[in-house]
């Protein structure tokens, strides 16, 4: 895997109304919408769902 090390850009978009009381811990995040379970649910192309 060392040969595939590349820089990664992560973009985070916060909505105007956020629940700041959730804190920064991942296990405290509350989703307001259903999570995409497959490629049909996702609004844009998600290549990780096609990974084999």
CA 31, 37, 42: angle at the middle one, nearest 5?
A: 80
Distance, CA of 12 to CA of 41 (rounded, Å): 20
Write out pLDDT tens, residues 13-38: 666 555 555 566 666 666 666 666 76
pLDDT attached to residue 25? 67
As a whole number of angstroms, the distance between CA 3 and CA 11 comes to 24
Q: What is the pLDDT of residue 47?
A: 55
Number of neighbouring beta carbons within 10 Å of residue 42: 13
Distance CA 39, CA 52 (A): 14
- Dist. CA 45–CA 49, nearest whole Å: 9
- Comparing 22 with 8, which gets the higher pLDDT? 8
For the full predicted model, state whether its pTM sits above 0.75. no
Question: Looking at residue 8, what is its pLDDT?
Answer: 78
């Amino acid at each position: 895997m060392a040969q595939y090390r590349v820089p990664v850009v992560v973009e985070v978009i916060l909505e105007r109304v956020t629940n700041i009381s959730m804190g920064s811990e991942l296990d405290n995040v509350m989703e307001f919408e259903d999570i995409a379970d497959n490629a049909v649910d996702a609004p844009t192309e998600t290549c990780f769902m096609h990974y084999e």
